[in-house]
Structure 1
């Protein structure tokens, strides 16, 4: 088999790359190599601001996807080897596929705690199959432990009901991947509330249908339509005990206890539980070999330049498997997020098309400023720019406005210019904050009034 473009990976990055290629080059052949027979496609793409977008995810059979894009052939297979010298790849079913341009979008896999290999009661959550296993086990659990402090761990701590929860984090506050101690304190009051029906918000929606496969990340709202309940007493509210600044030091089978595991923490605390959910981040998913070595980062991601090119000729990479190895814009940095996977996949396609046609490639505007929209503890959360003072050292100022149970707004300023923002709740300040960061307007005339609730600051910047 052969094609002008070959993309490896059926997740958000890979499919965004394939669809963008099909749009720009409808007459060129494209092969999408996916471990899953189902393809996730972006629909209803809508820009909320210049950098924040909203879209839905639609799952379809690969045959239906090929009907929609006649020049894309989907192959249900796994990449085994890249021969970059002769421009072909080998798959697990011994297919040889020749390419002119190759894009690797293989994503990432869960980085489980070391003891996960020893106990079946320890699971990670990354893809659809792992959610099915989790739901089967949680129904029989009265006590669970969550390890990790990112998005999935925070969502689980908030969503699990009818069970005791031990939340083990190595930081001084919850949700440290996204927010600082002040916002974490704002979230804490939500942890022991009953989960209310979620309101529709301006953000990306992602619906996942169950099927037996692995690979692509769940993305946002994976828990949206799930009822996550344990086997505890319905009349007793769920208890959450947070173990700060600690890690698991030992796990063993518990004796003389109704619970399967006994956990010992590095601070000496002990407790028993039915299961442990490991949500401690991900590592690049690179289970293939290449004739010439790909240049990797210290943490195992494939290094790419400002055109998403690897060190191998005509081989590109996008999404969680890659590492941005160019001089970054001041207000942008890389995180393993579904938003960036879509952006990188689409931009890699534009770069490949430009190089095929000998056209100048200009870097996408999305790499000018970090922007992410998510939901934590029932609140809409928008993170813009250097929202936690990343890259700024210690010479910056923070302005905060909080209304308990309603909103939390944090502005990060350096030299009287906005560098980042955290917007929790329905603040409607995202467009203004984005413009202030991008335009670097001097805010010294406004002082602290920029977050004064009695002043509509948006009037100044319409």
Structure 2
């Protein structure tokens, strides 16, 4: 069995792991940096743009690991899953028989989908490239699908699918409640019914395929960490046609405030009694009974109900402190409760008291920031230098795109944790923009910007500067006033 003594080992080929490895490889050119990944492809960041002090935009690309090794001669990519981690001995063993004695280890193994059920071939979870391709293949033959969930993947999915009826099941009163309030949801709803036009330009980036890749996350086949591919990029649906079997789109029907009570195969469905006449429901491969009493037949079900931090491969024989969400708890230097073991991205949960204007959300931007900061903390520990918490954790900020609208979220954008101690200012132009500002004690503490508002940098400054805005009142969002001039 091969055994090596190394300074840095990073586990995970997603954004957090690759960012961490690149940072360490560039800072320590004479040290070997080892990146362990279960997939032959790694996620890399391209077209990075610092939009403002805290806002950043970038593309995520899948590339062969050789691309990284050519860029950093001291970075070695090992394509293997973790078999055993012994933190007391600072030893890590891989499935392919290698053993690493590390000085510093960073776990960036991401998260796995929370599937509705683990044993039904009609339930599909979408997380990695392979499962997205499996979804595309199934969708091409489908006339109706049921999408369960209300997060980012579900939002993108219901908008992008064409030529197929979509039944969207959400447990909330409004769509996208992870990101929006009910007002923003109402602003976006017409986009589901409108003719899709002015789509983003086709994705021009190179796509790589491999002969042996990770598991498609169909229920009943969700293997261990060795089979997990990295999470999809924010533009995962670009460049693949999400079209069903129908010539014309049948639209999206939303079932609010309900969940899936039971899933029936066609054979089971024919044996049971239902309130609805079976002839009305038609013949489908699978049926979904909802808690509101309704039953729908469909070709397959998409489970988009969130993720669980992928910590299981590292727990046996060790004493990691876990959060309620099963994430590895990290301190303000991204260290876990075990010595010399760090974590970043979806696998970890922050254990420090965060800034009043920041909260953890398992998003691409935070995976990059955490991976970068974890590398700096590991470097500081090796060099015996002190380091302060990075500025990116001062203010929550995120740029994304939903329903073909640019979306910017800042601070306590949904008044998280503010109770009744806040007021909202709104500006909405149907089909163009939705602007919401959260004020507390006369100061701006959060904002939601949908559309091309060009207000993100101004609002970021107002939040960070803690300026008292009481005297401006509703004029703060007056479209006839150039706010930038107002606060120069």
Q: TM-score, normalised by structure 2?
A: 0.91
What 5-or-longer segments of structure 1 have no aligned partner? Answer: none
Cα 1:403–1:153 shift into 2, 3 Å: same
**How far apart are 1:437 and its partner, in Å?**
0.8
**How far apart are 1:237 and its partner, in Å?**
3.4
Aligned-partner Cα distance in 1 for 2:139–2:174: 25
Contact 1:84 1:290 (C-alpha < 8 Å) held by counterparts: no
Aligned-partner Cα distance in 1 for 2:477–2:37: 48
SS at match of 1:184: helix
Cα 1:50–1:182 shift into 2, 3 Å: same
Aligned-partner Cα distance in 2 for 1:104–1:95: 17
Match of 2:239 among 225, 228, 245: 225
Aligned-partner Cα distance in 2 for 1:177–1:372: 13
Correspondence for 2:295: 270
Does 2:153 match 1:152? Answer: yes
**How far apart are 1:111 and its partner, in Å?**
0.4
Does 2:134 match 1:130? Answer: no
Number of residues paired by the alignment?
456
Aligned-partner Cα distance in 2 for 1:398–1:435: 18
Correspondence for 1:56: 59
Aligned-partner Cα distance in 2 for 1:420–1:309: 29
**How far apart are 1:301 and its partner, in Å?**
0.3
SS at match of 1:23: helix
Correspondence for 1:5: 8
Aligned-partner Cα distance in 2 for 1:413–1:368: 17
Correspondence for 1:243: 255
Does 2:404 match 1:378? Answer: yes
Contact 2:60 2:233 (C-alpha < 8 Å) held by counterparts: no
Match of 2:103 among 93, 96, 100: 100
Cα 1:358–1:206 shift into 2, 3 Å: farther
Correspondence for 2:349: 323
Cα 1:137–1:58 shift into 2, 3 Å: closer
**How far apart are 1:86 and its partner, in Å?**
1.5
Contact 1:259 1:272 (C-alpha < 8 Å) held by counterparts: yes
Aligned-partner Cα distance in 2 for 1:7–1:414: 41
Correspondence for 1:426: 452
**How far apart are 1:52 and its partner, in Å?**
0.9
Does 2:73 match 1:70? Answer: yes
SS at match of 1:450: helix
Cα 1:44–1:294 shift into 2, 3 Å: same
Correspondence for 2:325: 299
SS at match of 1:229: coil
Q: Which has the larger displacement, 79-88 or 11-20?
A: 79-88
Cα 1:404–1:209 shift into 2, 3 Å: farther
Aligned-partner Cα distance in 1 for 2:207–2:124: 19
Cα 1:199–1:148 shift into 2, 3 Å: same
SS at match of 2:133: helix
Q: Which runs of 4+ in 1 moved over 3 A?
A: 204-211, 255-258
**How far apart are 1:239 and its partner, in Å?**
2.2
**How far apart are 1:57 and its partner, in Å?**
2.9
Aligned-partner Cα distance in 2 for 1:83–1:176: 41
Contact 1:123 1:277 (C-alpha < 8 Å) held by counterparts: yes
Pairwise CA RMSD: 1.7
Correspondence for 1:399: 425
Correspondence for 1:167: 168
Correspondence for 2:88: 85
Q: TM-score, normalised by structure 1?
A: 0.96
SS at match of 1:189: helix
Correspondence for 1:283: 308
Contact 1:206 1:222 (C-alpha < 8 Å) held by counterparts: no
**How far apart are 1:238 and its partner, in Å?**
2.0
Cα 1:110–1:205 shift into 2, 3 Å: farther
Contact 2:52 2:457 (C-alpha < 8 Å) held by counterparts: yes
Does 2:363 match 1:362? Answer: no
SS at match of 1:446: helix
Contact 1:9 1:35 (C-alpha < 8 Å) held by counterparts: yes
**How far apart are 1:360 and its partner, in Å?**
1.0
Aligned-partner Cα distance in 2 for 1:185–1:46: 31
Aligned-partner Cα distance in 1 for 2:154–2:96: 37
What 5-or-longer segments of structure 2 have no aligned partner? Answer: 215-227, 271-278
Contact 1:56 1:206 (C-alpha < 8 Å) held by counterparts: no
* CA deviation string 1:71-96 (max 9, x = no partner): 11100000122111111101112321
Q: Which has the larger displacement, 31-40 or 301-310?
A: 31-40
**How far apart are 1:448 and its partner, in Å?**
0.7
Does 2:476 match 1:442? Answer: no
Contact 1:206 1:221 (C-alpha < 8 Å) held by counterparts: no
* CA deviation string 1:139-158 (max 9, x = no partner): 11001000000111011111
SS at match of 1:326: coil
Q: Which has the larger displacement, 278-287 or 427-436?
A: 278-287
**How far apart are 1:207 and its partner, in Å?**
7.2
**How far apart are 1:394 and its partner, in Å?**
1.3
Aligned-partner Cα distance in 1 for 2:162–2:452: 26
